[in-house]
Structure 1
Amino acid sequence: MSASSYQKRSGWALVVFLLITFAAPALSAFIEMPGAWYEALRKPALNPPSWVFGPVWMLLYTLMAIAAWLVWKRVGFASPLQLYFVQLALNAAWTPIFFGAHALGLGLGVIVALWVAIALTWVSFRKVNAAAGWLFVPYLAWVTFASYLNWSLWRLNS
């Protein structure tokens, strides 16, 4: 394969990773958006304003997709990317459980499982490509904070 052909294939692969990464959680977000129910919940002191979540997730999904693409370039669809898709599925599952079913406790269980899956993905990505590992750190940090928020909401509104 020529260098030019490889670059085109690699560029298209990045686009596919971006599309998949944004599509999985976006589908559930279109179905279950925060609304009056969420607004009525008692919130912890550290709960950010609603407008913060969109830009943060846009950045995180972009970083996640780039990290996955970097790993794919090195090892293809090996086990690190299988972990990536597991955590992406858990990420997509949280929204309809938390916002759709209003199941704060079950949402907490899902977000804890998500955190574990992200941590495992981060470790596996780091072994393949250091930059990919670093790109996952903000996501792990944000989901740590989101886990605190989910726990706090569950405790304050049970």
Structure 2
Amino acid sequence: MTLFLIFLATCAAAGATGAAFPPGPWYKTLDKPDWTPPDWVFPVAWTSIYLLISFAGARVAGLQGSGYAMAFWAMQAAFSTLWTPVFFGLRRFKAALAVIAFLWLAVLGATWTHLQLDFWAGLAFVPYLIWVSVAAALNFQMWRLNPHVEPLKINEA
């Protein structure tokens, strides 16, 4: 249980960037693809994902040979934490695409390495991989549909 709580606290810290860099009124004015999920889906999805990957990390952390799995777990947490301030905070859609590409690779790596150690831990990462795939497609479409959005400069943010 202690390991689960440590992983969950890490997820909560990563998720706190959403509170620090909320979408704001400017986001509502953007052109979005028709398939953009409604706003209520995002907190439900992230809460579910954070619970699942905390479960996965806790199941694998103490296992022999879990080094790569833990490295990918930490890597996905870092890129997940970085994406929100880049996309919402700085409004740098193209840079956010680069971040989410690395996030997708980290989640894929975490899925694979967790699966090698524990079937249920690997399976717990699958919804995250699907969600990041959708988020990457959304990020790309937002960049494509909103070429007029000017990135914020650091001293404006």
Q: TM-score, structure 2 length as denominator?
A: 0.89
| 1:25 Cα deviation from its structure 2 partner | 2.6
| 1:76 Cα deviation from its structure 2 partner | 7.6
- Match 2:6 to one of 1, 16, 19: 16
Q: Which amino acid aligns with 2:7?
A: F
Greater C-alpha radius of gyration: 1
In 1, the alpha carbon distance for the partners of 2:101 and 2:26 equals 23
| 1:106 Cα deviation from its structure 2 partner | 0.7
Alpha-carbon displacement from aligned partner over 1:45-86 (angstroms, at most 9, x marks no partner): 100111110111000111011001111132386221011101
| 1:12 Cα deviation from its structure 2 partner | 1.4
Map of 1:1-158 to 2, 5 A cutoff?
A: 11-26=1-16, 28-75=17-64, 78-158=67-147
Structure 2 unaligned residues grouped into runs of 5+: 148-157
Q: Which amino acid aligns with 1:132?
A: A
Structure 1 76/124 Cα, relative in aligned 2: closer, same or farther at 3 Å?
A: closer
SS at match of 2:71: helix
Q: Which amino acid aligns with 2:5?
A: V
Q: TM-score, structure 1 length as denominator?
A: 0.89
Alpha-carbon displacement from aligned partner over 1:124-157 (angstroms, at most 9, x marks no partner): 1111111111000000001001111001111000
Q: How many residues align?
A: 147
Structure 1 unaligned residues grouped into runs of 5+: 1-10
SS at match of 1:45: coil
In 2, the alpha carbon distance for the partners of 1:98 and 1:71 equals 31
Tell me how large the CA RMSD over aligned residues is: 1.2
Structure 1 residue runs of 4 or more that deviate by more than 2 Å after TM superposition: none
SS at match of 1:74: coil
Seq. identity, %: 36
Alpha-carbon displacement from aligned partner over 1:74-101 (angstroms, at most 9, x marks no partner): 2386221011101110001000000000
SS at match of 2:2: helix
In 2, the alpha carbon distance for the partners of 1:103 and 1:34 equals 13
SS at match of 1:102: coil
